[in-house]
């Protein structure tokens, strides 16, 4: 064959490879791990609640969804920014649009599955409506777990800040050290605060934003102490040591209370799950044995009464074993 044919094949192959490489580089620059990390940092920085419009103009606005049209519609919802802050505190990385879309999608899907499985219509409707709150419960669970981890990390953060101040670092530099050398999730929150200060936000506003993003009581003590110390002066390292000692003593008391209430919590779990486990075993052994509960009117009344009593009992036991420290 003519040499021009082979040359065209080589050039075509090179063009395809370069096109694929170009598409990959474009996608990686916009949707790759580094781009997502930078996007999350910018969104978190711009989510602070103590910035004026002039300072916020240098940052990218935090979006409530992946669609600009949907984002404009969500702005009309009441307390939408509170939901956005709730999602940010959970660390799940969801937007408000994704959360609301998941809550709206689950009920029809659950209703179709339950009706296909032969569950009665009323029970299927109730379960489908209840499934709408599953994403909210998941986000709440993730938020509570993250805040508990932040709470446990905070005494060590105070120790690190105090050591950095004693070694001659400024308080802003100590915040940067926590952001780079500490473990997650506390390090990411302090990195955001350090980035806000570097963007030109005052230290007071950056600390107030930190207290807004991380609503734990001990962190607010730190923010109040730093703000007062900046106004009146004093040894901030000794103040941090005092806060650390107070927090650790409170943790000791909290652990004692948790041990004392563990028996009540275990009893609540056993009593709450035992009827369902027993019913599952009975339906496995004899599938038609419990059909009378949802086929007979008296069985339905009994079932509703039992479920209502169980819900009331679980809330009552939770009220008994829940102790605040």
Predicted pLDDT at 78: 64
Higher pLDDT, 168 or 26: 168
278-294 mean pLDDT: 83
Name the least confident of 100-114, 141-155, 199-213, 265-279: 265-279
Label residue 231 by pLDDT band (50, 70, 90). confident
pTM of the model: 0.65
* Alpha carbon of residue 17 to chain centroid: 41
Label residue 46 by pLDDT band (50, 70, 90). very low
Neighbours of 311 (CB within 10 A): 11
| Residue bearing tokens 């940067």 | 176
Predicted pLDDT at 52: 47
Q: Is residue 212 classed exposed, middle or buried when 0-12, 13-18 and 19+ CB atoms within 10 A define those classes?
A: middle
285-289 mean pLDDT: 83
36-63 mean pLDDT: 49
Predicted pLDDT at 156: 92
Q: Which CATH number is 146-252 given? A: 1.20.81
Share of the chain above pLDDT 90, in %: 15
- Residue-wise pLDDT for 10-24, tens only, equals 777 777 877 787 777
Residue 214, pLDDT above cutoff 80:
yes
Residue 91, pLDDT above cutoff 80:
yes
Predicted pLDDT at 17: 72
Predicted pLDDT at 96: 83
Predicted pLDDT at 25: 76
Helix residue ranges, H only, 65-116: 68-74, 80-90, 96-116
- Residue-wise pLDDT for 306-319, tens only, equals 888 888 887 887 77
Coil/strand/helix, residue 235: coil
Label residue 71 by pLDDT band (50, 70, 90). low
Higher pLDDT, 4 or 125: 125
Label residue 6 by pLDDT band (50, 70, 90). low
The token pair at 216 is: 């734990």
Predicted pLDDT at 92: 86
Helix residue ranges, H only, the chain: 3-31, 33-46, 53-56, 68-74, 80-90, 96-116, 121-131, 134-166, 171-181, 186-198, 203-213, 217-232, 236-285, 292-295, 297-321
- Residue-wise pLDDT for 111-130, tens only, equals 898 888 888 888 888 888 99
Mean residue pLDDT across the chain: 80
First vs last C-alpha separation in the chain: 87
């Amino acid at each position: 064959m003519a040499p021009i044919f082979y040359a065209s094949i080589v050039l075509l192959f090179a063009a395809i490879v370069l096109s694929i490489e170009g598409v990959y580089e474009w996608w990686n620059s916009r949707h790759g791990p580094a781009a997502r990390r930078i996007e999350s940092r910018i969104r978190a920085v711009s989510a602070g609640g103590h910035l004026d419009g002039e300072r916020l103009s240098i940052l990218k606005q935090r979006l409530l969804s992946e669609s600009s049209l949907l984002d404009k519609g969500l702005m009309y919802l009441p307390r939408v920014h509170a939901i956005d802050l709730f999602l940010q505190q959970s660390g799940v990385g969801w937007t408000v649009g994704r959360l609301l879309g998941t809550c709206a999608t689950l009920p029809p899907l659950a209703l179709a599955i339950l009706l296909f499985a032969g569950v009665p219509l009323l029970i299927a409707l109730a379960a489908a409506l209840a499934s709408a709150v599953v994403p909210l419960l998941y986000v709440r669970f993730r938020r509570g777990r993250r805040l508990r981890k932040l709470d446990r990390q905070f005494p060590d953060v105070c120790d690190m800040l105090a050591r950095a101040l004693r070694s001659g670092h400024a308080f802003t530099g100590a915040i940067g050290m926590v952001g780079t050398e500490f473990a997650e999730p506390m390090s990411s929150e302090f990195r955001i605060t350090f980035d806000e200060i570097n963007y030109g936000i005052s230290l007071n506003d950056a600390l107030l934003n930190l207290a807004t993003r991380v609503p734990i009581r001990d962190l607010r003590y730190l923010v109040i102490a730093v703000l007062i110390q900046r106004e009146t002066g004093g040894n901030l390292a000794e103040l941090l040591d005092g806060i650390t000692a107070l927090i650790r003593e409170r943790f000791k008391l909290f652990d004692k209370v948790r041990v004392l209430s563990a028996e009540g919590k275990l009893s609540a779990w056993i009593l709450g799950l035992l009827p369902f486990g027993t019913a599952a075993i009975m339906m496995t052994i004899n599938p038609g044995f419990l059909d009378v509960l949802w086929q007979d009117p008296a069985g339905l009344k009994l079932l509703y009464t039992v479920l209502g009593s169980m819900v009331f009992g679980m809330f009552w036991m939770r009220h008994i074993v829940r102790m605040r420290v």
